[in-house]
Structure 1
Amino acid sequence: MNNNIPFLPGGLEQYNLLKKNVDLKDKIILILGFGAEQIALQMTAYAKAVIIAVSTNEELLATRLKMSGKPKISVRLMSFDVTDFSDEAVDVIYSQGALSSDIRNKILKELHRIIKPDGTLCSGEVVSLKEESPQFVKDIWDRSGMNCLFISNLEKNYTDKNFNIVSSKELNFTLKAYYNAAAEIIKRGMKNISPEDLKVQRKVVNQLQHEVHAFQKLGGNKYIGFKTLILSKVVVNEEE
């Protein structure tokens, strides 16, 4: 596995799409979720500050150890639907797979609150490629606590929450490399993984075992996809 490529669905393609559409110079950037450390490091070449928000103590410890001494980067523990940011505090919010959950809409409401009026939300989500997924795919997502939308409904879900679509891209092709990397980690039995990553990666890999089997052996590639959206904020007049 290439250490310069984040171990996330979408690989580097999502970040490349963001850079193509948004000037990151002197921006305050919030990254949601564990695993995007390589992207955070690249962002520091442009950004004023990069904040990584994670949701568990294990993720907090692992991320802080890896980012220790890195300029411009801070790591915080918080619930994504109830953050500790003030209104309109962030220029760019970056999520690569962190919003595919049952509380997606609550999170989007919170992100709308904390993003600046001229800010950008870059969100990539695991999606269903079929309107009705087979039971083995549903079981995998239920086991992982994921609520994945049908790909054709993804954009509307965001526009209904007061965001405009600036750009979008289907990144289904990145999943083969992602699951191949997961299979490689599973095969080598968690060897060569740093101690700070071990607890978090063990949990991730346990979840991924079923996904890898489904994707590689059961034809899951026909049903599981990934799509990234670049969005601007719709400023809502509260008096309306």
Structure 2
Amino acid sequence: MKKNAILLPGLNYQVDSLFKHLNSNPQRILIAGSGAFYAASGIAEHFNVPVDMIVEDYQSLLEARLTGENNPSVDIKMMSFENTDYDDSEFDLIYAQASVSTPDRNRILKEFKRILKTGGYFCVGEIVHLSDKYPAFIKDIYENSYLNPLRIDELKKYYSERRFKIIYEEDLSHTLKDYYKEIDKRLDESKTELEPSEKSYYKKIINRIKHESHAYLNLGGNKHIGYYLFLLQKD
């Protein structure tokens, strides 16, 4: 996997689909989510405009700034997705890759809709249920990762009820296998690079991610967990 590959569910496919199917030239763009710096950088380069990127915690802010090495095209800030500092109708495009499938989805979407212009676009990738019933280990993954996935049919209804028009949709569940394999690989590599104090600090996070990837790759999680892309337009 290339150094600047997007290490999120959906990988580089979500950004590529945005470029292919968005018939517009947005001037004000917001990227929401930790781990999305390479997505933000690619979007800024493609549309030839600076972009804003927001993360919700200090650790994500540090990691994004270290990854970005002061890239002037990406302005990285820390703020709550539910309560941003932006004005009404400020953005032409909001991009979220695996960052809104949480119990806070309703409040986040209300805020994103406020700051998105009428006729503006929302490119969102969401973790989804592939089955109505799922085993206890899947429920544990959702709880430990603070996820609240919907079934794909529920998700379509959800966005339609909030007056978003579906411009394009795509099932990107096939990307999850490569995503979790790469996560496993990088976690194994990081263990040899971390100092003892850092290992202690990150132990809980590492164990959670390892458990999630093991469940998906080895316990049949692929039968229950999917990933779906929508390109939406605000009515």
Identify whether the pair has TM-score above 0.5, normalized to the shorter chain.
yes
Q: In 1, distance between residues paired with 2:138 and 2:117?
A: 37
Counterpart for residue 42 of structure 1:
42
Counting only pairs closer than 5 Å after superposition, residues 110-129 of structure 1 correspond to structure 2 as: 110-129=111-130
Q: 1:156 to 1:204 in 2, by over 3 A?
A: farther
Counterpart for residue 109 of structure 1:
110
Is 1:101–1:145's contact at 8 Å kept on the other side of the alignment?
A: yes
Is 2:26–2:92's contact at 8 Å kept on the other side of the alignment?
A: no
Q: 1:15 to 1:140 in 2, by over 3 A?
A: same
Counting only pairs closer than 5 Å after superposition, residues 58-207 of structure 1 correspond to structure 2 as: 58-191=59-192, 204-207=205-208
SS at match of 1:188: helix
Counterpart for residue 219 of structure 1:
220
SS at match of 2:95: strand
Q: In 2, distance between residues paired with 1:157 and 1:29?
A: 23
Unpaired runs of 5+ residues, structure 2, are none
Q: What amino acid maps onto 2:81 in structure 1?
A: F
Q: What amino acid maps onto 1:223 in structure 2?
A: H
Q: 1:58 to 1:223 in 2, by over 3 A?
A: same
Q: 1:26 to 1:201 in 2, by over 3 A?
A: farther
Q: Relative to structure 2, which stretch is displaced further, 46-55 or 66-75?
A: 66-75
Identity %: 36
TM-score by length of 2: 0.91
TM-score by length of 1: 0.89
Is 1:33–1:98's contact at 8 Å kept on the other side of the alignment?
A: yes
Is 2:123–2:230's contact at 8 Å kept on the other side of the alignment?
A: yes
Counterpart for residue 33 of structure 1:
33
Is 2:44–2:73's contact at 8 Å kept on the other side of the alignment?
A: yes
Q: CA deviation at 1:64?
A: 1.9
Counterpart for residue 238 of structure 1:
none
- How many residue pairs end up in the alignment? 231
Q: CA deviation at 1:153?
A: 1.2
Deviations 1:51-80 (A, max 9, x none): 110000111122123224312210111110
Q: 1:43 to 1:200 in 2, by over 3 A?
A: farther
Q: Relative to structure 2, which stretch is displaced further, 88-97 or 47-56?
A: 47-56
Is 1:25–1:48's contact at 8 Å kept on the other side of the alignment?
A: no
